[in-house]
Structures are given as C-alpha cells and as structure tokens.
Structure 1
Amino acid sequence: MKHSLMLVALLVTSSALASTVAEVKKKGVLVLGTDPTFAPFEFKGADGQIQGFDIDIARAVAKDLGVKLEIRAVGFGALMPQAVTSGRVDMAMSGITITAERAKVVAFSGPYYRSAQVFIVRGGNPGKFAWPADVKGRTIGVQATTTGQFVANDVLKPRGAALKVYDDFSAGLADVRAGRIAALIGDAPTVADLQKRLPGQFAKAGADLAAEDYGMVFRKGSDLAAAANRTLARMKASGEYQALLNKWIVQK
C-alpha cells in the first residue's frame, strides 16, 4: 500500500508539470532544469541566482510563450534524461549535446550552439599533456553521463588512458589544479571562461577531442521543441542571439 501511495504522489507531482505548449500556457510557468556548474552557459552568480547563456535563451522561449520561467537546479546525471522523461521539468538546458542515442528518448530543438570537447590542464601545462599524442598511462577526468565520458571511453581508454569519473565538474577542476590528474575533458567555452575568471590557473591542451552541437531538451513528442525553434529563429533574425553570444561567450 505504501508503494501505491508513493506512486500516486509521483504521478500527481508529474502532472503539475507540462509537456505541451497548451499545458505550459495554462500553467503560466515553463520549468527549466539545469546543472548550474557550467559557466558561461549556466552558473550561480555572486547573488546566488542562476544565470548564463542558456538561461537567457530559456527566458526568451518562456517570454514568447507568454509565461514565466522557473529554474530548477538538477545535477547532470539526474537531469539527462530522467528529469525530462519523468516530467520533473518541462525542458532542460545544460550544454546538452544532441546525439542519436539521446534522441531515442527525448526531443531536441535544433542546434543552438556549436562546441567541442577539449582537454583542460593546469596553467602552463607543467605535465606536458598533448593530444593526439600518446595518452597511455595518463589519468584523464570526465564528468559522469556527459558526451566527454562517452568519447573518452571510445577513444582514450583503448589507447591506455585511465579515466576518473566525477559527478561534479568542479571536483575535476580541483584535481587538475592540484596535479592529481593530467587533464579534464570539458567544453571549449568553459576553458575560455576559466581563463577569464581565474587567470593563469587553467589552459587548453592539444587538439579538440570531438565537435558537438547543443540542443534544448523536451519530452518525446512535445510541441515545445517546435516553439523553441521558433524562438531561436526569431532571436537569430533580430540580432538578439548574437547579442547573447557577445554578452556571455565572445572573448572581449
């Protein structure tokens, strides 16, 4: 009986969220799930509020729908895809790479940002780490359930690299800074942001590991994906998208 009551509670909680444009408009709120540890896309500012490139795009989607945006911090491992498929959030943005495997269980918007997986090392690269040079015997950090982990499993492990998996990206950065791992796999804009905020502490090493496109994520079959695409097209045509790139990502 307890299990039945818990199931009913979960169903009631999920029903409070929405998976269609009509439901979101009726509710008056678009619930965004994000892991706020990925500057400059989503992170907590000095005031404790979540901000960033992804957040501003999500606000534009909500505005075009005529509703408010509610932001929920969700760890990446729980965000993709469980928070979306369970109805815990209406949409997810957290530098989420569009992949064929993920598209089997969630709906993606069109690409809104082109990025790359790169190697983050200590400033000055004292360990002389390079890619695609031999990585045999090196310990490389990856964040759990990210495309960086997937690519590392496919490409680096067969070359003899040891992988250390982190639930929290910041813990991986701490190990890079302390010299406990040779490098951490992350997204290219992250390195630029780290170099701006923490001069001399981190650097990019070697060639890019892989290129990728980010997408907004929704429940399978949801017409919210089409609505997001319309907002994205409007923002690009009006210059709003470029203004956000200049604000958050383009290095001054």
Structure 2
Amino acid sequence: MKKWLTIGLVVVFVVALAGCGKAKENTEGAPEEITYSIATDASYAPMESMDKEDIVGLDIDFLAEVMKEAGLKYEVRNTGWDPMLLSVKAGKEYQAGISSISITDERKQTYDYTVPYFESENMIITREGSPIKSALDLKDKKVAVQLATTADTLMSKIMGNDNSSLKKFDSNTIALLELQKGGVDAVVADFVVILDYIKKNPKEKFVSIEDKVNFTSEYYGILLPKGSDLKAKLDPAIKKVVESSKYKEAYKKWTGKDLDTTKLLEQYK
C-alpha cells in the first residue's frame, strides 16, 4: 500500500507542476485573452480629452482601429502626463501609453516606441496685434508650455531653462488658461492643440503663428516599456491603419484638415 500511495502522490505532484507552466485558461479550456491597459493624459484636445466620463479624440479613435486590426483587447485610462510616463516605464499596471507622445532620441533611451502614426509640429498662440512673429521673438516674453513636452525642450533652449519668464505647467489646458487670463504673452504647443483652442474660443481673438525654421516636424508614436512584445504586434497594424480610409475620416473629424501621409509614410522605409 505504501508503494502505491507514494506513486500516486508523485503523479499528482507532477501533474500539479505541469499545470503551473500553463497560461491561465477559461472554463472552456482556451487560454484567457489578455486585456492591455493603456494610459493617456486626456487634456490634449482634439487628440485626447474627457467628454463627461468618456475619453475621446483622434488618438482614441486611431487606437481603436489599431487594436481591432491587431486583434487585441484593451482599455484606456486617464492617468495624467507624468503618471503615464512613469507607469509605462515600469510596464506593470500599464503596458502602453498614447497621448500625442513625440518620438525623441532622449525618450528612446528609456522607452520603446511603435512606428510613428502622426506628423506634428509645435506652434505659437498669442493675441491679435502681438509683435510676436517667430519663436525667437519669444526670448524676452512670458511664455507657457506643458512640462516635459517637446515644446518645453524647444523653449528651454531658446529662452534658457532657468528663465523665470518660461512658465511650465502640468497640462496645456492650464497653460492656455494662463494665456487667456493674461499671465503670459504666448503658449507653445502642438499645432492641433493650438488650432482647436482658437476654434473653440473665437471671442478671445487669438492667432496662431507657424515657425518652420525653429519648429520642425516631429512624429507621435505609442509609448512602450523597453523590450515590450507589443511593438511586434502593433507596428504592422499601425502601418495598415495609417493608410486606411478610417484614419483619414478620423483625422478630418478631429482636426478639420485633410490627412497628408507623404512624410509619415517615408518614416516606414
């Protein structure tokens, strides 16, 4: 009896060990599908913003098409900018971030990115009648930017990182409110944010200023932790969606402009 009892216990132990190496299964025996958690800073209309309890915007519509194309389940949560960066870096609670995140060499040292999906550039917003004509005219002005963005980097180089006239806020929403109440002479942010704000505030008499010399094209990508296996899943889906009519429709809906993917597609070569 002891011999058979020992053998039986060994068999149970081996089976138990074998089960530990398997993916979690549902009641029908198929592996449970992963739901990816994606962080965003929903204060960046028209790319991502809050509509009551819903996160809406071009990034959100684009992401829906990409995840559908990739066959992946996901959820998007509004975390704010800095928490998004920190949580995606850790790669535990959130496996990706989408929030008009420019691809930069500095960020590449800490994160991986998908292929780019949006071409952008920074723009100046100021009031009608302002003498400001270019980014260099901002040197002796009071300027607001969102902290830790490419606008922050650009204006820190032009004005000096310790310049007290360069005001850095946690969001573009607060930076633009500072302009509206007269606390600064101008705000620098991505062109879609500036144009959307001017459109929604016609009585304020704001104007936008392009500076293609000091503000060159940059590209948004989905932010990933270093070594993420999501990149291989998302890159092919992004390329397909970028060339689709769905993306063109969403782009027109949220920006009011026709999508030109010429320079964006060159990034895929």
TM-score by length of 2: 0.76
In the TM superposition, residue 26 of structure 1 has moved relative to its aligned partner by: 4.3
In 2, Cα distance between equivalents of 1:85 and 1:216: 13
Most deviating of 210-219 and 64-73: 64-73
2:191 matched to 1:188? Answer: yes
2:57 matched to 1:58? Answer: no
| Aligned positions of 1:152-191 closer than 5 A | 152-157=155-160, 162-191=165-194
In the TM superposition, residue 237 of structure 1 has moved relative to its aligned partner by: 3.8
Structure 2 counterpart of 1:30, one-letter code: Y
Change (3 A) 1:29 1:177: same
RMSD after superposition:
2.3
Match of 1:43 in 2: 49
CA deviations 1:199-251 (Å, max 9, x no partner) are 24332135244221111111111121122211112213432221221221234
In 2, Cα distance between equivalents of 1:99 and 1:246: 26
In 1, Cα distance between equivalents of 2:221 and 2:195: 21
In the TM superposition, residue 41 of structure 1 has moved relative to its aligned partner by: 0.6
Query: Tell me, which stretches of 5 or more residues in structure 2 are unaligned?
Result: 1-30, 259-269
Change (3 A) 1:186 1:136: closer
Query: Tell me, which stretches of 5 or more residues in structure 1 are unaligned?
Result: 1-24
In the TM superposition, residue 161 of structure 1 has moved relative to its aligned partner by: 8.0
2:83 matched to 1:84? Answer: no
Structure 1 counterpart of 2:49, one-letter code: F
Question: Which protein is bigger by CA-based radius of gyration?
Answer: 2
| Aligned positions of 1:11-50 closer than 5 A | 26-45=32-51, 47-50=52-55
In the TM superposition, residue 154 of structure 1 has moved relative to its aligned partner by: 1.4
Match of 1:250 in 2: 256
Change (3 A) 1:251 1:233: closer
- Mapped contact 1:119–1:184 kept (Cα < 8 A): yes
Alignment length (residue pairs): 224
In 1, Cα distance between equivalents of 2:250 and 2:232: 21
SS in 2 for 1:226: helix
Structure 2 counterpart of 1:56, one-letter code: D
